[in-house]
Copies of this chain bind each other. A is one copy, B any other.
Amino acid sequence: MDELLERLAEIADLERMAMLLAWDQEVVMPPAGAEARGELRATVGRLSHERFIDERVGELLESAAPRDELEADVVRVARRDFDKARRVPGELVAEMARAGVAARGVWLVARQTNDFALFAPHLERNIELRRRYSACFPEAEHPYDPLLDDFEPGMSTAELREALERLRDGLVPLVAAAPDVDASLLRAGPFPEAGQRALVTTVLRAVGVDDEQWRLDDAAHPFEATIATNDVRLTTRYDEAELDSLYSSLHEFGHGLYEHQVDPALARTSLGTGASSAWHESQSRLWENMVGRSPGFWRWCFPHARAALPERFAGATWQEVQRAANAVRPSLIRVSADEVTYGLHIVLRFELELALIEGSLAVADLPAAWNERTQAYLGLDVPDDVRGVMQDVHWAEGIFGYFPTYALGNVIAGQVWARLNADLPDLDERFAAGEFAPLREWLAEHVHRFGRRLLPTDLLQRVTGEGLDPTPYLDYLEAKVQTSAQLMS
């Protein structure tokens, strides 16, 4: 057992190293270091994989005799990870990585000339390789299951499909009913960079960031990197035309807080991180949207925003800013979508990638299918593939099974939020007083501390007493849309 724990600790360390290599590359590395960095990242990734799928780990897992409940969880999760990793040939893993790098390069070129045909064969190759990956798990009910399972352990395609259909059917009429609110208080500058930095710092300090255990840096594409429970690194970017830095910081804070509040006893095991991609996204979206667009948050935040950015906020009220923060307007690009339309962007991607993996949709027919659903769900015409099917990097990199976790994250956040408000009915008043500790502590106690000890659906059952259910999230959005509509009339 001790040897097993040591080996798993080594692998956990290598994964942290990989994280540090990525953070360093995005945030501080001199540009010319990129080539050597690719080698370093490949070496750490290969070592971590090789050391895990080693025969010896199999023997240790076979004969492991856990001495307490924590060790039992470690062994159970490690066995699951090990079985999955062992069944995929190293050749196929390497091939998927190579094809993804190649396809990503072509995707970048194809975007410049809006040339989907150039990209199509590479996308086909990525899909074929994922189908081969799925075939390593012949017991799967659906070829999408093994892909989804990499991000949502234990979740079935059938369960996911049902949840996202219900989400879609709730969102389409909601989007159609949403009034067209003016969002320019947050989406039309000037927002001078220095003022944004001051505001982001104030907000992050209030929600729980300190210099002892956290960093905040600039990055072209904001992300969060946990190097250790007590070394959590957020990034954001500053665009003077909009106040996205505030929401992206809260989003990354949600990811970081999850990792920060995992039980320290799980450090250096396979359990010392979030339960799944959707659970992680639930936490980032909870802070970004449920907290950051709430009335209480803006009652507290507005004086700070006005002090930091008088150019934009001098003549406004907190109510106006909060309304702007909840504006709904269908748009073509997922990453800049509002909270309500966002889910439809995801459902569309999920439905299409499911069809691609099933083989019921040919790559040649993908752009038309994309454009048709964009019209059906969002009421928009897609003018070109750059603003359509080629807008995201995921498929180019060969990532299938990940998109739905964005929507699942929102669904889970809705269920957690409902539970939270039942437990802490004065939450919005607390936010208005700048008090975020009750929320942090509730999340630590009910969600974060468990790390990967529970499967995603078991965690959901434990937190909410329910299975996956989009209703609370739809109710939450509907209440917002109704409030907006009442204010308009």
Contact = CB atoms under 8 A, between A and B. Distances in A.
A381 interface: no
Given A17-B17, A36-B231, 10 more contacts: A10-B43, A14-B43, A17-B44, A20-B21, A30-B231, A30-B232, A31-B212, A36-B227, A39-B268, A47-B47
5 closest Cβ pairs, A-B complex: A33-B231, A36-B228, A32-B230, A13-B43, A32-B213
Interface string A16-51: 110011001000111111011101100110010000
Interface string A188-214: 000000000000000000000001111
A181 interface: no
Given A227-B36, A229-B36, A214 B30 contact: yes
Interface in A137-184: none
A211 B10 CA distance: 35
A411 to B, nearest CB: 33
A33 B24 CA distance: 16
A37 B17 CA distance: 10
A9 interface: yes
Interface string A212-236: 1111000000000001111110000
Number of copies: 2
B17 A230 contact: no
A267 interface: yes
B10 A47 contact: yes
A50 to B, nearest CB: 10
Nearest to A44: B17
B213 A33 contact: yes
B36 A267 contact: yes
A215 B24 contact: no
A215 B28 CA distance: 8
A208 to B, nearest CB: 14
Contacts of A214: 30
Given A16-B40, A17-B17, A32 B268 contact: no
A215 B43 contact: no
Contacts of A36: 16, 227-231, 267
A24 B35 CA distance: 20
A13 B40 contact: yes
Counting chain B CB atoms within 10 Å of each CB, which of A36, A227, A231 scores highest?
A231
B10 A20 contact: no
19 contacts: A9-B39, A10-B43, A13-B39, A13-B40, A17-B21, A24-B24, A28-B215, A29-B227, A30-B212, A30-B215, A30-B230, A32-B212, A32-B230, A33-B227, A36-B228, A36-B229, A36-B231, A36-B267, A37-B227
